[in-house]
């Protein structure tokens, strides 16, 4: 029963791996994923003997005993410990935040608490962050880098333009540091190991990453990235949103950056002393580079910034970030910036609670990427989901799935959709993650997952049930009309939605921010109609025809509205590297921003 522990230790205890070594390790893991999963669970339970949360379910029973083998322990655990949500574990986590040092959910001391982004649930949640969290982050980064290097070899000694951001940490009542998981990682010894031992080095010093003001950090990332433009091997950020946001900013800031490069100066917009000092130690007057940047940017401006990345960073091999789920809408803009030749590589599958899977096939486009589950990181279960066939029952359960009992990793089936359940080294037990995935295939004994959507229903008024994925498909059809038929070739910058039930009948509201010249009203009206007609959910179609759901409303908001939403979340403790635009909101602060910034409204005539 020590194999899982040995594998975790071997792969996380330093930087001895070359790329071939860590891939060989994963090959070994893939051969015995079923055994390793059982041993991972046993190891978690051994390390957390007698904790309060498990005593609640086991009483005086000792679950890990010499007379029981791994499968028997696995069976006892899943039969006695119920599935849990964050709400079930939150009382224990809050006690830890308040200073309770008793072994409540784990025997490993919890000295850090991660904050979820809050964009999915509407509020930030505490999640335990331990040394294991940082170790597995380092491990998956090394493994993913090895697979990327096989597909897109990079030069030794090159640099990475990492658009990464720390946010401010604070102390809980009990004196624990709380902040985003990315902030904890960037402050960890594991991140320092990565920086020291990888063959490529980030363009920005720690004082830039930890600035705390995302606008100042972005400016410095771009400035320093251009100083090292010939050395940059790839561009990366946590989410695709951050990359798009950075290059949209560059379109506005490039003349100021050009001046700083020419004169070896630093814009007065950088006000944090430690950041200014660290950047000014690197920059120097470089009129030749400045002239080249100016010439390229004047050409790019005339071509709507197409191919911005390869023009400015000619040796970059790819762009790397999370591009699945709610990030998919930004892929089109990223492709515009990357041009036809520079690959977009989707980063690995993780959450604040645990890393889940690695992208073994970085040459696959983001729309087709799969993730091989990491069987030594957590113990995984999968709840089989079946989409409801008949949705006109009048039920408003808030879900679009029927479910069966959870199955272990070894029993999942290709083509079946599941919700992921985690038991982690950090103190989460049979924790429902809320992510819906589909098993696309296997690599040896490891399932490869497609991310489908968050299970949480986002749009419902009556008997209608539409997920984030449904909304994305509808908005994509509307945005195609926008690009094809508007005389200015306008494009969609960002969007969100709201189910408005303040008046009867209730109806959907979709908010769009558009980049481009004034768009003809008849085109926007058609976009609204097409979106309304594109919802295929039976409950929605029936309700629209019966007028128990009103016409879809399209609201056009002024430029910069979604930046205001970003700044609202960052003001509440989120980091740019963690931010995801909420695709549906009932948050009254956000709705006030959206409605105040609305400049045009259209109602659909699809069912008139």
Domain boundaries, the chain: 3-129+352-379+391-454, 153-169+181-342, 468-603
Instruction: Indicate whether 256 pLDDT > 80.
Output: yes
pLDDT of residue 396: 37
Q: What is the mean pLDDT of the chain?
A: 85
Which token pair is 530?
A: 């097409």
Closest Cα to residue 113, out of 342, 427, 362? 427
* pTM of the predicted structure, to 2 decimals: 0.80
- The residue among 170 and 384 whose pLDDT is bigger is 384
Rounded distance between C-alpha atoms, residue 242 and residue 573, angstroms = 16
CB 264 within 8 A of CB 227: no
pLDDT of residue 255: 95
> Which residues are within 8 A (CB) of 536 and not within 5 positions of it... i.e. 6 or more apart?
470
Rounded distance between C-alpha atoms, residue 587 and residue 589, angstroms = 6
Q: List pLDDT tens digits, range 329-379.
A: 888 889 999 998 899 999 999 888 889 999 999 999 998 999 999 999 999
pLDDT of residue 246: 92
Instruction: Indicate whether 50 pLDDT > 50.
Output: yes
Q: List pLDDT tens digits, range 65-85.
A: 666 787 888 888 998 899 999
pLDDT of residue 316: 94
Closest Cα to residue 535, out of 472, 595, 580? 472
pLDDT of residue 517: 77
pLDDT of residue 186: 73
Q: pLDDT exceeding 90 applies to what percent of the chain?
A: 45
Q: List pLDDT tens digits, range 31-43.
A: 999 999 999 999 9
State whether the Cα torsion 482-488-494-495 is positive or negative.
negative
State whether the Cα torsion 252-306-580-219 is positive or negative.
negative
């Amino acid at each position: 029963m020590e194999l899982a522990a040995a594998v975790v230790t071997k792969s996380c205890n330093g930087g001895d791996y070359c790329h071939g070594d860590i891939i060989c390790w994963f090959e070994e893991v893939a051969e015995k994923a079923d055994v390793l999963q059982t041993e991972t669970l046993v190891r978690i339970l051994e390390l957390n003997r007698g904790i309060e949360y498990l005593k609640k379910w086991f009483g005086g029973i000792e679950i890990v005993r010499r007379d029981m083998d791994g499968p028997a322990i696995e069976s006892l655990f899943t039969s006695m410990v119920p599935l849990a949500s964050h709400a079930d574990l939150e009382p224990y986590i809050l006690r830890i935040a308040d200073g309770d040092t008793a072994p409540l959910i784990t025997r490993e001391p919890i000295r850090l608490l991660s904050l979820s982004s809050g964009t999915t649930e509407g509020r930030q949640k505490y999640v335990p962050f331990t040394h294991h969290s940082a170790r597995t982050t380092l491990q998956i980064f090394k493994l993913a880098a090895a697979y990327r290097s096989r597909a897109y070899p990079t030069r030794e000694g090159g640099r990475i333009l990492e658009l990464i951001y720390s946010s401010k940490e604070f102390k809980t009542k009990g004196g624990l540091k709380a902040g985003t998981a990315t902030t904890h990682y960037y402050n960890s010894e594991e991140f320092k190991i990565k920086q020291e031992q990888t063959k490529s080095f980030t363009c920005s010093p720690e004082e830039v990453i930890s600035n705390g003001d995302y606008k100042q950090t972005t400016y410095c990332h771009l400035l320093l990235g251009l100083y090292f433009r010939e050395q940059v091997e790839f561009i990366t950020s946590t989410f695709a949103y951050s990359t798009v946001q950075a290059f949209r900013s560059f379109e506005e800031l490039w003349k100021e950056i050009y001046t700083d490069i020419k004169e070896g100066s630093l814009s007065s917009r950088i006000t944090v002393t430690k950041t200014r000092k660290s950047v000014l130690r690197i920059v120097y007057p470089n009129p030749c580079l400045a002239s080249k940047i100016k010439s390229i940017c004047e050409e790019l401006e005339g071509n709507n910034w197409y191919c911005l990345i390869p023009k400015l960073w000619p040796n970059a091999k790819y762009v790397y970030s999370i591009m699945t789920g709610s990030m998919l809408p930004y892929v089109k803009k990223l492709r515009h910036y990357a041009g036809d030749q520079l690959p977009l590589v989707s980063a690995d599958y993780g959450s604040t609670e645990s890393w889940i899977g690695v992208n073994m096939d970085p040459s696959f486009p983001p729309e087709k990427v799969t993730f091989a589950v990491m069987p030594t990181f957590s113990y995984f279960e999968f709840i089989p989901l079946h989409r409801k066939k008949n949705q006109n029952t009048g039920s408003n359960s808030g879900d679009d799935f029927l479910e069966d009992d959870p199955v272990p990793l070894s029993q999942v089936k290709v083509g079946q959709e599941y919700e992921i359940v985690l038991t982690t080294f950090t103190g989460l037990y049979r924790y429902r993650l809320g992510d819906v995935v589909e098993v696309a295939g296997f690599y040896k004994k490891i399932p490869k997952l497609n991310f489908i959507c968050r299970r949480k229903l986002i749009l419902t008024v009556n008997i209608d049930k539409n997920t984030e994925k449904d909304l994305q498909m509808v908005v994509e059809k509307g945005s195609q009309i926008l690009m094809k038929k508007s005389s200015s070739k306008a494009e969609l910058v960002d969007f969100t939605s709201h189910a408005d039930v303040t008046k009867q009948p209730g109806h959907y509201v979709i908010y769009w921010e558009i980049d481009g010249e004034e768009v003809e009203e008849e085109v926007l009206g058609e976009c609204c109609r097409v979106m309304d007609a594109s919802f295929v959910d039976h409950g929605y179609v029936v309700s629209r025809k019966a007028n128990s759901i009103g016409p879809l409303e399209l609201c056009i908001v002024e430029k910069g509205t979604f930046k205001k939403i970003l700044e609202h979340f960052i003001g509440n403790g989120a980091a740019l590297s963690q931010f995801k635009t909420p695709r549906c909101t009932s948050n009254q602060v956000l709705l006030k921003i959206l409605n105040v910034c609305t400049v045009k409204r259209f109602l659909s005539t699809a069912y008139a």
